Structure 1
Amino acid sequence: MSTTRRTLSICLGVLPWLSSGALRTADAASPPTPDPFEGDPLRSHPWPDIRREYLGPNAVVAWDARVQVQGPAFAEDPMNVPISVRVDPALGPVEQLMVLVDRNPIRRVLEFFPVAALPVIAFRFKLEQASPVRVAARTADGVWHVGSTWVESAGGGCTVSGATRRDGTWSQSLGEVSGRLFTSVPGTTGSRLRLRVMHPQDTGLVGGVPAFFINRLSVRDGQDRELARLHGYEPLSENPVFSFDFPQPPVGGVRVVGTDNNGNRITSRLE
């Protein structure tokens, strides 16, 4: 009997040791827990879905400080939030810029194809609530380099009618273009084009007012060579203003041509 008790006692003493060892082995072999924010420095929950939807499920994405995004700390006017984008030349040639806003009901603001311009752009957009603002720059190797900034806002920019829609004057100036070409940009030998296109830019989120927005603009030189191309979306501000930079002044002035989503044509020439 005493032998049986001693044997049972030894077995009971060994089992806890074996069990804890097995757990330690299993823990060591477990894969690391994936980062739900995918490295996002702003830790935004919508970002993983946004990345897959707009950049592609298999896209290579890198957070990159060379994609510089500047905006206000607080959007005093959520219908006209100024954003400027500049990509450091050290990144190399950039084929496309895409601007995305995590917490807007319509997340894509614009796509910019520099063509013969510099990867630099400034514009204004509507912001529905405080949100990260992203700019993804695609290089020739297909990699998306992403820069971000955070803009606080009281909100409501996407769900309120613009001034010209409220007073009905939008139809009198629809498609008119005004602008100026600055042939001297500090620190460069290039030029800067600043232009405004008159358009109500309706988001479609105001009752009884369908989406109505500029969907394409092309900047061309006097010989009709394309210098830059922009695809616009609903969140661009009413009567949007854009700034483009060129490494050299355009030859023979500038032509601006484009369309809106209703097929209205935009065309203008700036000497």
Structure 2
Amino acid sequence: MADPLGSPMWAAHARTLFGDDPVRFDPRVKVVFPMIAENQRAFPVVIDARAIAGVVRMLLLVDLNPIPVAIDYRPVHAAPYVATRIKLDQRTPVRGAVQLASGAWLVSGGWVDAAGGGCSAPPVSRVKGDWAQHLGEMRGEAWPMAGGLARLRLHVRHPMDTGLVDNIATYHLEALRVKDAGGRMLGEMDIWAAVAEDPAITLMVEGGAGDAFTVEARDTNGRDYRALLPMARQSPMPGGR
């Protein structure tokens, strides 16, 4: 389909990511972000497809970034919702694409004004020199919501090197999984270096009061990280954002 955003890269990305699968633009895929990037190194984006039934996969796509895909998320026992922060290299469309069980893709998004350079600037922890001391540290918590879901917020310390800075090779988290106390997979994702340094990720997974969640991650050097996130002691949230 013709791109409503008029991106020069849409056709190439669509061929690569979607192949011959049906694709249509659908405003029910809510892609929420600021109109202007005040910090191109850490730009917040939310993809919310809870109004759509049967979502099995979610992509966060940044058309004009040198690393166009930031996250590929599969909500197994979770709501089709993901929030994170990404890098922006220039003014660009930012999109959410969700795949249905039928194989069809629904896409939405918009343009973001950005000064640029987010992908080619060295991480703050590299400049400070303390990245190795904190590598892989995880912190987070979950909060009960109505409808048998929990809002899970996770932070992971990692430089998320893009390989576009002189003398710094590509080095980033590449996979993340969330499981319940019984080991059941709730959601899993592939991650690329377009995600901001020290990734902050929010998901809505199945869970209730008293539950705990295991988070497992791996980076491109083969290092594995693991943490147990507790459920906060509070009454259920009525909704979720």
TM-score in same-fold range (> 0.5): yes
Q: Structure 2, unaligned stretches of length 5 or more?
A: 231-241
CA spacing shift, 1:228–1:250, aligned 2, 3 Å: farther
Which structure has the highest strand share of the two? 2
Aligned-CA RMSD value: 1.3
Of 170, 187, 197, the residue aligned with 1:238 is 197
Measured in 2, the distance between the counterparts of 1:101 and 1:134 equals 6
Measured in 2, the distance between the counterparts of 1:251 and 1:225 equals 16
Structure 2 counterpart SS, 1:118: strand
Measured in 1, the distance between the counterparts of 2:92 and 2:209 equals 36
1:106 to partner: Cα distance: 0.9
Measured in 2, the distance between the counterparts of 1:233 and 1:171 equals 20
1:221·1:251 contact (CA, 8 Å) conserved in 2?
no
1:251 to partner: Cα distance: 6.8
TM-score, normalised on structure 1?
Answer: 0.82
1:258 to partner: Cα distance: 1.4
Of 112, 116, 122, the residue aligned with 2:83 is 122
1:151 to partner: Cα distance: 1.0
Which structure has the highest helix share of the two? 1
Match of residue 235 from structure 2: none
Match of residue 68 from structure 1: 30
Once the two structures are superposed, the pairs formed by residues 106-255 of structure 1 within 5 Å of their partners are 106-184=67-145, 188-249=147-208, 252-255=211-214
1:61 to partner: Cα distance: 0.5
TM-score, normalised on structure 2?
Answer: 0.92
1:132-162, Cα deviation, whole Å (9 max, x unpaired): 0111100000001101122110111000011
**Percent identical across equivalent pairs?**
34
Q: Structure 1, unaligned stretches of length 5 or more?
A: 1-37
**AA paired with 2:12?**
D
1:247 to partner: Cα distance: 4.5
Greater RCO (CA < 8 Å, at least 6 residues apart): 2
Aligned residues between the structures: 230
1:234-270, Cα deviation, whole Å (9 max, x unpaired): 1100001000012542874011011001101110111
Match of residue 14 from structure 1: none
2:155·2:201 contact (CA, 8 Å) conserved in 1?
yes
1:223·1:252 contact (CA, 8 Å) conserved in 2?
no
1:51-101, Cα deviation, whole Å (9 max, x unpaired): 001222x12101011111011100000000000110043x21111001111
CA spacing shift, 1:219–1:251, aligned 2, 3 Å: farther
1:70·1:149 contact (CA, 8 Å) conserved in 2?
no
Measured in 1, the distance between the counterparts of 2:143 and 2:42 equals 23
Match of residue 46 from structure 2: 84
**AA paired with 2:25?**
W
Structure 1: 4+ residue segments shifted above 2 A:
246-252
